[in-house]
Structure 1
Amino acid sequence: MGLAEIRGIIREAWPLMLAEAVGSIVSLIDLAFVSRLGVTALAGVGAGSYAGWFLNVPLAAFYIGVLVLASQALGAGRRSLAERIVGESLTAAMLAALPLAAAGIAAAHGLGMWLSGGDEAVAEAAAAYLRARLLGHSFFAAMLVLDAAYRAAGANRGILYGAAATAAANTVLDPLLIYVAGLGVSGAGLATAASYAAGVLVLAARARSQAGYSSIASVPRGLAARVFRVGSPAMAERLLFAGGNLVYLAAVARCGEAALAAHTVGVRIESLAFLPAFALSTYASGEVGRLVGAGLLEEAQKRGWSIAGASAAFMTLMALVLAGVAVPASILLAPSEAVATLVVAYLLLAAVSEPALGAVMSLGGAIRGAGNTLVPTLINLVGLYLVRVAPAYLLVGRVASGTACPLVAWLIMDVDVAARAAVFTLVYRRYFRRLARRLV
C-alpha cells in the first residue's frame, strides 16, 4: 500500500477522525476539571464512565444496523428506503434508552461498589456521576442513530457540526456546574447529558442539507425491528465486551485507588488515538457497505484492506505521540505523583499495541459493512474473554500485587490486541467473499 493511497483515505475520512478527536479532547478537559476534586472523585468518574458505557451498549444494535442497512440501501440507489431506516430507528432508539436509564439510575450505587472494589467513597462518586449522566440517555441514543445515518451517506463533514456542538456545550457547562453551582461530580455528569442534547439538535437540523435525508423521524415499524436484528450481533459483542471490561476494571481496582485513577486518566488520553481509529472503522463499514450494496465484492475487499492499512499507519504515528506526551500529560491530569507515575506506564504500554488495534478496528468494520456482523463479534469476544479477562481475573491483585499489579493488567491488554489482529487479518484475507452478503 502506497503513501499516496494512505493520504487519500485520510483525506476522505479526516472529518470523522477530527470529530472523534474533538470528543477525546473534551473528555480530557472534563477529566481535568474533575481531577481538581481529588483522587476519589477521579476514580469515581472513571468507574461511573465504565458503567455508563455498559448501559450504552444495547443501543449499539441501532447504530450498527443503521450504518449497515442505510449504506447498502444508498449504494443500491434506494434513498427512500434509507430514510425510512433512519426515521424508524431514531424513534425506536430514543424509546429503548428510557428503561436502560431507569435501570442504571436504580443500580448506580451497586455498580459503583463493585467497580471500586468496595470503596464506599469512590462508589458514591461513581453513582452521583452516573445518575446525572443518564438523564441524557435518550439524546445519546438519538445522536448514535444520526451519526450512523451521516456516515452511511458519506456525509463525513456534517458530523463535525454535531461534534462541535457537543464539545462546546460540555466545555462551557463543566466548570459552571462542577464549581459555580457546586455540584461536583454530578455537575460533570449533567454537563455530559446536556452536551448530547446539543449534538442531536445540530445533527437533526442539518440532516437534509448535509446528508440528504428529507425525514429523520417516524413511527417504528418493521424496519426498526430489522435494523435491530442486523445490529444485534454487534450489540451482543459490545454488551459482552462491556461486561468483560467491567470485570477487567474490577481486577485493576484490586491494585488500589491510585491504579484505578491512573487507568481512568490513561484511557482518556489514549482515546486521542483509538477514537480516530474507531472513525476509520465506521468509515470502512460505510465504504465497504456501499460497494457490497452495488454488487462490487472485489472492490469492496480491496477498499477494506486499504482502510485497514491506513488505520495501522495512523496508529503507528499515534503510538509515537502517546509515548511523547506520556510524562507532560500525566503531570497535567494526574491528581498525585503516584497516579502520574502509573499513567506514564499505562501510556507506554498502550503505545505498543496501537498499530495492531488500528487493524483490528478497521478490518472488523469492513466485515460488518459487508453484511456480516456475527464473525467480528465472535473474534472480539473470544480474544477479550480468553486472552484478557480470564488472565486478569486470575492474576491481577492475586498472583501479581504491589507495583507490578497494574503493569500485569496492562500487559495482558497488549497481548489480547495482538492476538485479535492476527486472527482478523487471516479471516479477512481468506474468507471475505464468503462472509459478504447484500442485505437490501
Structure 2
Amino acid sequence: MNMTTADMTNSPYKTIWNLSWPQILMMFFHLTIGLVDVWVAGKLGREIQASMGMVSQSLFFFLVIGMAVANGSVAAISQSIGAGRMLRAKRYIGLCFQLGAVLGIIIFAVGYPLRDGMLTILRVPPEMRHVMQYFIKIFLYLLPLYYLLIITNAIFRAQKKVLLPLYSMVIVTILNTILDLGLGLGLWGLPDMGYRGVALATFYSISAGAIFNVFLLYKLGALRKKSFAPLKWCRKAFPYLFKVAWPSGLMQLVWHSGYLVLYSITASLSTDNVIALAGMAAGIKIESIIFLPAFAFNMTASIIIGHYLGDGKPEEAKKFGYRILGLGILFLSLLALGIWPYIRPITALIAPDKVVLDEAVNYLFYNVLAIPFTLTSMIMAGALNGAGATLYNLFIFSFTIWGLRLPLAYYLGHQVMHSATGIWIAMLISQIVQASIIFYVFSRCDWQRFSMSSNKKRIKHG
C-alpha cells in the first residue's frame, strides 16, 4: 500500500480493513503452525507433546528481545515514512536489520552453552530430557534466522506492505505442515524421524520464511549501501529505538510471567485444580482463535498512528485510534455472538472430557464478556506502540496484572469462592480496569510527545 496520510483520511475504514485482513490471515497461519506441531507431537507420544509445549514456552524468553526491536522498528520506520524522510526510513530499516542479525547471534552464543542448565531450571523429567535436549539445541541454532523473520516482518508492516509478511507466513505454514507430517510421521516416503523431524520442520520452515523476507528486502532495494548508515548516524538513531524497545520487551516479560503465576494460582486450588488447569488450557486455545483479529487490529493501529505522527497530524492519529477501536469491537463482538451458540461443541473437540469441557466453557464465558475491554487494551496498546509511547503500556499492564489481577485471582479463587470461577472473574475485572486506564491515557494524555517529530533532538537525514 502506497497511500499517503491524505489518502488514508479520505478512506479511513477502507484503509483500516486493507491493512487488517492480511494480518488476520497471517495470525491464522501462526495458529495453524502451532496446532499442527502439537497434533503431530501428540501422535508421537505424550512425552513429545509435553516437550513441545515446554520448549515453546521457553522459546518466548529467547525471542522477547527480537519482538521488542520489532516494535521499535515499526514506530521508527512508520514515523519516518509519514514525515516524508525516506532516507531516514531506509537507514532505520538497515539498522533494524543489522540489530536483528547481531542480537540473534548474541542470544544464541549466550544460550547455547547454558542449554543443559536450562533443562535443570525447568525441572524436565528424566524421560523427557533427551527430547528436550534436541529441541532446545535445534531451536537455539534457529535463533538468528528467527530474529530476522520477526524483524523483517515488522519492517514490511511499518511500510504498509502487509501482504509480504502474509506471503512469508504462507510459506512457513505450508513447509512446516509438510515436514511435520513427512519427517515427523514418515508420510510421503520421507524419512520417519519422529520428534527430530518435528524440530527440523520448525527449523527449515522458519529459515525459509526468513530467507524469503531477506530476498524481498533486497529486491525492494532496502538492503543497498545507502540503507546502512555511518556509525555517527547510528549512534544518534539508536537511542530512539532503544527508548521504544526496552519497555516493550519488559512488558512482554510482565505479561508472560503473569500468566505463569496465574497458572500457579489455578494449580494450587484446594479442589478440582487439575480440572481447572485443563479447562483453562482448552479455553485459551479457543480464545486465541476468537482473538486472531484483535492482534491484527493491534498491529494496524501501530502502523497508522506511526504514519500520522510522522506527518505531524496527532489529532488525525487519535481519530484513527478511535475508528480502529470501534471497527474492532464491532467485528469481534459479531464474531463472538456468531460462535457462542456453538462454543460447547467446538470446545469439545479439544476437551472431550465433560468436567473439563464444563470448566473450559465457564472460562470462556467470562473472557468472551471481556471482549470489548480486552480489545480496547490491545488496540490502544498498539496505538501507543506506534507513537513510541511504550512506557505507558509497561506501567499500565504491570499495575493491572501484578497489582490487581494476580492478587484478586488469589483472593477470589482461594479465599472467597474456593473455585476457578473466582480466578476467571478476577481476569474479567482486571480487563475492565486495564481498558479504562489505557483508554483514559489515549484520550487525555500527551502520548504523542514520544514520537520522533516531538523530540527536540530530531534525527537528521544524514
Normalized against structure 1, the TM-score is what? 0.84
User: Residue 6 of structure 2 aligns with which residue?
Assistant: none
Partners of 2:179 and 2:417 lie apart in 1 by 40
Partners of 1:168 and 1:378 lie apart in 2 by 39
Partners of 1:53 and 1:235 lie apart in 2 by 11
The 3 A distance-change label for structure 1 pair 133 and 411 is farther
User: Residue 292 of structure 1 aligns with which residue?
Assistant: 309
User: Residue 231 of structure 1 aligns with which residue?
Assistant: 245
User: Quick check: 1:109–1:124 contact (8 Å CA) kept in 2?
Assistant: no
User: Residue 206 of structure 1 aligns with which residue?
Assistant: 216
User: Residue 192 of structure 1 aligns with which residue?
Assistant: 202
Partners of 1:38 and 1:340 lie apart in 2 by 23
SS at match of 1:206: helix
Q: Any idea what the Cα deviations from partners look like across 1:398-430, whole Å, max 9, x if unmatched?
A: 55898x34x443333222222211111111111
User: Residue 351 of structure 1 aligns with which residue?
Assistant: 368
User: Residue 82 of structure 2 aligns with which residue?
Assistant: 75
Moved more, 296-305 or 212-221: 212-221
Q: Any idea what the Cα deviations from partners look like across 1:378-401, whole Å, max 9, x if unmatched?
A: 1111111122233445666x5589
In the alignment, structure 1 residue 135 sits paired with structure 2 residue 141: yes
Q: Any idea what the Cα deviations from partners look like across 1:244-287, whole Å, max 9, x if unmatched?
A: 22222333444656654554443333222334312211211111
User: Quick check: 2:370–2:431 contact (8 Å CA) kept in 1?
Assistant: yes
Amino acid corresponding to residue 98 of structure 2 in structure 1: T
User: Residue 159 of structure 1 aligns with which residue?
Assistant: 165
Could you tell me the percent identity over the aligned residues?
A: 25
> Post-superposition shift, 1:192?
2.7
Partners of 1:38 and 1:392 lie apart in 2 by 34
> Post-superposition shift, 1:331?
3.5
Amino acid corresponding to residue 308 of structure 1 in structure 2: L
In the alignment, structure 1 residue 93 sits paired with structure 2 residue 100: yes
Partners of 2:129 and 2:333 lie apart in 1 by 37
In the alignment, structure 1 residue 147 sits paired with structure 2 residue 153: yes
Task: List runs of 5+ in structure 1 lacking aligned partners.
Answer: none
Partners of 2:445 and 2:371 lie apart in 1 by 25
The number of equivalent residue pairs is: 429
Task: List runs of 5+ in structure 2 lacking aligned partners.
Answer: 1-10
In the alignment, structure 1 residue 49 sits paired with structure 2 residue 48: no
Partners of 1:158 and 1:365 lie apart in 2 by 20
Q: Which has the larger radius of gyration?
A: 2
Q: Any idea what the Cα deviations from partners look like across 1:309-341, whole Å, max 9, x if unmatched?
A: 222222213333553553344343347565545
The correspondence for 1:323, drawn from 340, 355, 363, is: 340
> Post-superposition shift, 1:89?
1.9
User: Quick check: 2:19–2:160 contact (8 Å CA) kept in 1?
Assistant: no
The correspondence for 2:264, drawn from 246, 250, 265, is: 250
The 3 A distance-change label for structure 1 pair 429 and 229 is closer
Amino acid corresponding to residue 315 of structure 1 in structure 2: L
Partners of 1:135 and 1:345 lie apart in 2 by 41
Q: RMSD in angstroms over aligned alpha carbons? A: 3.3
Partners of 1:99 and 1:246 lie apart in 2 by 26
Partners of 1:363 and 1:120 lie apart in 2 by 45
* Paired residues for 1:164-183 under 5 Å: 164-180=170-186
